[in-house]
Chains A and B, each alone.
Chain A
């Protein structure tokens, strides 16, 4: 059984998050990796393990070469999507490698070039069911898929426009306090309503950003971390949830289209960490869209099922609220490097490094990662 408090995230780093950048994925991964290694007080020669991401398009050989690394002793690739891969499964693989004695310091790099030709929806267009059945009726692209979930959720639980708007407004309030966030302009309800409608009821403000950027982190054994530069941020809990619905049918044929396996991953993570939602000081929640962030907020147990709209509208996730959420602006206002920038923010909050937006005395943070048919919950703690 995998146990908590055995590994720590000892270094984090990222590139600037840009609406359109000049650099490709490999260069951004290299820059982020070198920043994370330096943050850990290490050199590339110290890195002996790698967790690659199958959607990044570059494996550990390329990364190791690019950073000028030492001998590679372990490598693996995540077989999940989005935030699940970067903020969940990569940590699980890293822990397995470190506890087995196969690696000492494991690097997890990721970068995304959303502006690349083909765009972020290209992989959906290659699904036969989507090309054959859905695209001819105009049902295409994540905002459209998630819009249908939002309408169904509103039908079942109720959600006013003001309540829906309060979700991106919460994350934007944090982004205003975040120097590197892509969208720092304050957003009130009127500004939200000025955001262009994409697919009812989702406006552009309800969707994650388009980002060219990268991030990386270093994972080390907890004993090693105690001798490294920063306060120790350990992995206390880690849960992965999967269902077996392939991507081609995921957004239409599942019994409840927004029933991500988040309750499963949260239950596993809380059990491993020996805590429950009321123990958390803050949370980072994968906010591809308002509806998906809302549902995960409920799945993590931060509020009751069906009460997410009221939870956000009451300001509980805002600066000064009882459960700060997405404290660097999340993917909707901070930047969209799936899962990665959420995990980096969690680590820095637990170190106490976040200045104006620092959550006072933050000790325990949940990071939720969504990726199509899979979900991760990671509980990080300042040890």
Chain B
């Protein structure tokens, strides 16, 4: 399996906390600082609360796959033929129902990806930066 190389374009600080977390080996997502409610992806405005503030909080590294796909032909801009195939999973952290973090399925040789498969966060080095990765932990969630 390959690793897609496409550096994040962080033109504003909206996603800085996410990448800071990856560098620190931690999966962080955004929450309403006032209520603690998970708000993901980070929007420019929290719905109905233009004065509210987002903060980055660590989320459970364990969860399950909502869905997945194995990319055979990368549609990223540029030439990425050498980086396929790779499998993208939508990770749902155990303590953040409804939140989904896209990441790379790793450490899964011989494992057929499945919706509901149990996963654990594992950052992956992709060129000069880290991306979210998730490794199977064995037990399937029904």
Q: Which B residues fall within an 8 A CB radius of A?
A: 4, 6-12, 14-15, 18, 40-43, 66-77, 80, 83, 86, 88, 90, 98-104, 114-116, 126, 129, 131-132
Q: Which residues of A contact B129 (CB under 8 A)?
A: 136
Q: How large is the interface on A (under 10, 10 to 19, 20 to 34, 35 or more residues)?
A: 35 or more
Q: Does A134 contact B (CB under 8 A)?
A: yes
Q: Which residues of A contact B115 (CB under 8 A)?
A: 151-152, 155
Among A120-138, those with CB < 8 Å from B are: 121, 125, 128-129, 131-138
Residue pair A137, B100 in contact (C-beta under 8 Å): no
Q: Which residues of B contact A202 (CB under 8 A)?
A: 69
Residue pair B9, A138 in contact (C-beta under 8 Å): no
Q: Which residues of A contact B75 (CB under 8 A)?
A: 121, 140-141, 143-144, 198
Residue pair A199, B70 in contact (C-beta under 8 Å): yes
Indicate whether A128 sits within 8 Å of B12 (C-beta atoms), given known contacts A136-B6, A137-B103, A252-B90: yes
Q: Which residues of A contact B4 (CB under 8 A)?
A: 136-138
Q: What does DSSP make chain B's interface, helix, strand, loop or mixed?
A: loop
Q: Does A275 contact B (CB under 8 A)?
A: no
Number of contacts between A and B (CB, 8 Å)? 117
Q: Which residues of B contact A246 (CB under 8 A)?
A: 43
Q: Does A323 contact B (CB under 8 A)?
A: no
Complex Cα distance, B137 from A339, in Å, reads 44
Indicate whether A136 sits within 8 Å of B70 (C-beta atoms), given known contacts A148-B90, A155-B114: no
4 shortest interchain CB distances as A-B pairs: A141-B75, A138-B4, A155-B115, A147-B69
Among A128-169, those with CB < 8 Å from B are: 128-129, 131-141, 143-144, 147-149, 151-152, 155
Complex Cα distance, B8 from A141, in Å, reads 16
Complex Cα distance, B77 from A246, in Å, reads 22
Complex Cα distance, B68 from A253, in Å, reads 14
Residue pair A135, B67 in contact (C-beta under 8 Å): no
